[in-house]
């Protein structure tokens, strides 16, 4: 990558653009626009804003990502999860004032963009490693439930307070089932059914756009707005005016935690989708540059009076399947949205809000990862517990608190696993020099008086107590007196000073009881620290062997008194 392309990735493909790509990019851009236009309006409504604000979020922000992004297929714009986070973060500070609400949402987009831009320039993409996949899966599933439940009142024509919460909303829907407006419910539930069936049998069709067009025509032709069906109403025409977010220290402080959450979650979702699509197309994306690109997109969103944006999973997949070869497809998508703002806004006044709720509801259903929960139940129940913890905390406490709970739990579990690592007692597979875990290879033969142990972890201050306790327990369980201990160091990548000191104490204890300590297959970084600390010379170079078989051979000879010299294959180097 040239120096210019490193900072402006658009030059890496624009200057070498092939004419053969144009047809595919045009088709993909138009297809994605047909999906993005209704979704943008629906997600704006989910965020508590006017539907046209969602269209604003699908214009300049896309250009911002295209200039700086390294993914060829990622489709940026409003998303359901981020819209829900916006509503959760802004509502408490707007006090029911629509003007203040919009100002807070725009400021939030600016803060998110600033955070992502700074993280990208600081090359802080590695921080997402602390957000394990079960955490994001649990959070997304809980968000899907919250989003889906929040759309039920509008889907059925009921009036329910926005702050009722998922459980409160369900209770109120059940209690007021007799107040359901038939026309609204028929329109909304019909749209849901059409979207579900289309997703299954016609996945390539722009089903969301189709239900918007059909719903609008039905409402206009049958005058359903006069029979209790709530519609979008008059929509402002034309392009958004460029604005500067209203900055205020108190407001910034109030929204900063939400901005950090949106920046972090939005990036994790985008990088997960981007990497997956890049692997299929056999190219690489730059995680830190993606932070810069998303930051630019969100800063652009604040300039057009919109809310935070991110990568849409379903749109990105549709964009890829439709044949997108470069980010020119996203430029086509943004251009189509601009044309819609200029030409088609008057038509949308009869668009039923129940149809937009149906679009949001079906998108929310796709966020609930039941299949992932089943997979984790089958392969790793501890990860399933992490998923369920994040899911429950997000539902019961809140969006930001759920993410923090998941991150805290994943870090805690990591510490627990690193302080209690897997270990194995090794035995020789008959007829070979290979040593394997006797728990999995019952035929493996152990040597009398000799304990061969492998610890599958780094040696550091956190797990040395576990190592000492394990050695004591294994010695106690031996049928014959212990004369030699061999530690297979092939899986030890790191040794800190605390662990080195603890090994000195273990060595001294064994030496006082006539027990020999050996290391087999120790790696250079480990033996290097031992050499600097003096432990290697203290134990003796002959006690460091290239493999377990050599160590057992030497220990057996020493224990039996047949030999005490250094064998030819023993060394402190790997």
Transcribe 50-69 into DSSP letters: -HHHHHHTTSHHHHHHHHH-
* C-alpha 331 chain-centroid distance: 26
What is the spatial distance between Cα 170 and Cα 158, in angstroms, rounded to a whole number?
A: 12
% of the chain surpassing 90 pLDDT: 51
Rg (CA), the chain: 31
Q: pLDDT-derived band of residue 568, with 50, 70 and 90 as boundaries?
A: very low
* Those residues with Cβ within 8 angstroms of residue 299's Cβ, 6 or more apart along the chain or in another chain: 64, 109, 110, 113, 114, 117
Q: Where are any strands of DSSP class E within 232-380?
A: 310-311
pLDDT-derived band at 218, boundaries 50, 70, 90: very high
Q: What is the pLDDT of residue 565?
A: 43
**234 CB-side CA count, 13 A:** 1
Instruction: State yes or no: pLDDT of 164 exceeds 80.
Output: no
Nearest Cα neighbor of 257 from 403, 74, 136 is 403
Shared domain for 210 and 334, answered yes or no, is yes
Contact 298, 46 (CB under 8 A): no
- Rounded Cα gap, residues 552 and 485, in angstroms: 9
For residues 410 and 519, which has the higher predicted lDDT (pLDDT)? 519
Q: Rounded mean pLDDT of 177-199?
A: 92
76-77 and 484-488 strand pairing: unpaired
Partnered with residue 428 across adjacent β-strands are 435, 445
Q: Give the pairing of strands 484-488 and 450-455.
A: parallel
Asked whether residue 569 is assigned to any structural domain, the reply reads: no
Which residue, of 350, 365, 380, is where some domain finishes?
365
Location of structure tokens 């409160």: 168
Tell me: do 78 and 189 sit in the same domain. Answer: yes
220 by DSSP, 3-state: which? helix
- pLDDT over threshold 60, residue 571: no
pLDDT above 70 covers what percent of the chain?
96
Question: Is residue 158 situated within a structural domain?
Answer: no
- Predicted pLDDT of residue 566: 43
Q: DSSP state, 368?
A: -
For residue 497, what pLDDT band results from cuts at 50, 70 and 90? very high
- Tally of structural domains, the chain: 2
pLDDT in tens, 26-40: 988 998 898 899 999
Q: What is the pLDDT of residues 349-380, one digit of tens each?
A: 888 999 999 998 988 888 888 999 999 999 99
pLDDT, tens digit, 9 for 90 and up, residues 67-105:
999 998 899 999 999 999 999 899 888 877 889 999 999
**181, 188, 185, 180: which is closest to 215 by C-alpha?**
188
Instruction: Write down the H helix ranges in 397-478.
Output: 399-419, 464-477
Say whether both 349 and 431 belong to one domain: no
Residue with tokens 């509502």: 91
Three-state DSSP state, 121: helix
The mean pLDDT of the chain is 88
- Written in H, E and C, the secondary structure of 282-339 is CCCCCHHHHHHHHHHHHHHHHHCCCCCCEECHHHHHHHHHCCCCCCHHHHHHHHHHHH
Dist CA 327 CA 333 (whole Å): 10
Residue 425 has pLDDT above 80, yes or no: yes
- Residue 100 class from Cβ within 10 Å (0-12 exposed, 13-18 middle, 19+ buried)? middle
pLDDT for 136: 83
Residue 284 has pLDDT above 90, yes or no: no
Strand partners, 427: 436
Which domain-ending residue is among 365, 384, 401?
365
* d(C-alpha 234, C-alpha 151), whole Å: 22
The pLDDT tens digits for 225-264 are 888 898 888 877 788 888 888 888 889 999 999 999 999 8
Domain membership of residue 256 as a residue range: 22-130+176-365
In 3D, which of 81, 123, 109 has the Cα closest to residue 400? 81
Same domain? 449 vs 359: no
The verdict on 459 and 323 lying in the same domain is no
Domain boundary among 336, 365, 394: 365
Residues 63 and 200 in one domain: yes
pLDDT of residue 301: 97
The answer on 251 and 347 residing in a single domain is yes
Q: Give per-residue pLDDT as tens, 291-312.
A: 999 999 999 999 999 999 999 8
Alpha-carbon gap, residue 314 to 206, rounded angstroms: 12
**Could you tell me how far CA 297 lies from the centroid of its own chain?**
19
* Cβ 211 vs Cβ 191: under 8 Å: yes
């Amino acid at each position: 990558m040239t120096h210019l392309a490193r900072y402006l990735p658009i030059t890496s493909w624009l200057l070498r653009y092939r004419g053969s790509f144009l047809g595919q990019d045009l088709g993909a851009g138009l297809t994605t626009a047909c999906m993005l236009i209704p979704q943008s309006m629906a997600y704006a409504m989910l965020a508590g804003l006017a539907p046209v604000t969602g269209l604003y979020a699908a214009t300049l922000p896309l250009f911002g990502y295209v200039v700086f992004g390294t993914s060829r297929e990622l489709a940026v714009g409003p998303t359901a999860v981020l819209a829900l986070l916006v509503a959760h973060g802004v509502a408490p500070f707007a006090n029911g004032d629509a003007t203040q609400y919009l100002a807070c949402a725009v400021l939030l987009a600016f803060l998110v963009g600033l955070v992502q831009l700074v993280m990208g320039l600081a090359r802080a993409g590695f921080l997402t490693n602390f957000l394990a996949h079960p955490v994001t899966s649990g959070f997304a599933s809980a968000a899907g439930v919250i989003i889906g439940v929040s759309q039920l009142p509008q889907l059925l024509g009921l009036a329910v307070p926005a702050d009722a919460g998922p459980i409160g909303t369900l209770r109120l829907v059940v209690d007021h089932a007799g107040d359901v407006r038939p026309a609204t419910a028929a329109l909304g539930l019909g749209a849901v059914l059409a979207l579900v069936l289309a997703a299954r049998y016609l996945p390539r069709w722009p089903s969301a756009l189709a239900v918007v067009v059909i719903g609008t025509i039905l409402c206009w032709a049958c005058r359903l707005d006069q029979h209790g069906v709530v519609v979008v109403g008059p929509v402002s025409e034309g392009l958004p005016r460029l604005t500067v977010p209203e900055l205020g220290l108190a407001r910034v402080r109030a929204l900063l935690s939400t901005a950090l959450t949106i920046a972090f979650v939005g990036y994790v979702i985008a990088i997960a989708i981007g990497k997956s699509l890049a692997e299929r197309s056999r190219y690489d994306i730059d995680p830190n540059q993606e932070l810069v690109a998303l930051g630019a997109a969100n800063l652009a969103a604040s300039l057009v009076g919109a809310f935070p944006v991110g990568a849409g999973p379903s749109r990105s997949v549709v964009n890829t399947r439709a044949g997108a070869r470069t980010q020119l497809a996203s430029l086509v998508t943004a251009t189509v949205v601009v044309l819609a703002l200029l030409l088609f806004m008057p038509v949308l006044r009869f668009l039923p809000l129940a149809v937009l709720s149906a679009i949001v509801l079906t998108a929310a259903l796709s966020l609930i990862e039941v299949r992932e929960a089943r997979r984790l139940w089958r392969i790793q129940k501890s990860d399933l517990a992490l998923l369920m913890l994040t899911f429950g905390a997000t539902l019961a406490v809140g969006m930001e608190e759920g993410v923090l709970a998941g991150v805290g739990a994943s870090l805690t579990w990591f510490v627990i696993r690193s302080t209690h690592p897997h270990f194995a007692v090794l035995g020789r597979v008959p007829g070979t020099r290979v040593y394997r875990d006797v728990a999995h290879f019952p035929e493996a033969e152990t040597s009398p008086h000799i304990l061969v142990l492998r610890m599958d972890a780094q040696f550091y201050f956190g797990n040395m107590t576990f190592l000492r306790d394990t050695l004591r327990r294994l010695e106690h369980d031996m049928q014959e007196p212990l004369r030699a201990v061999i530690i297979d160091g092939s899986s030890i990548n790191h040794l800190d000073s605390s662990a080195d000191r603890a090994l000195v104490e273990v060595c001294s204890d064994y030496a006082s009881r006539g027990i020999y300590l050996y290391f087999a297959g120790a790696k250079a970084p480990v033996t290097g620290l031992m050499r600097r600390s003096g432990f290697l010379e203290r134990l003796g170079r002959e006690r460091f062997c290239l493999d377990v078989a050599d160590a057992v051979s030497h220990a057996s000879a020493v224990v039996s008194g047949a030999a005490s010299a250094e064998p030819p294959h023993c060394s402190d180097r790997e």
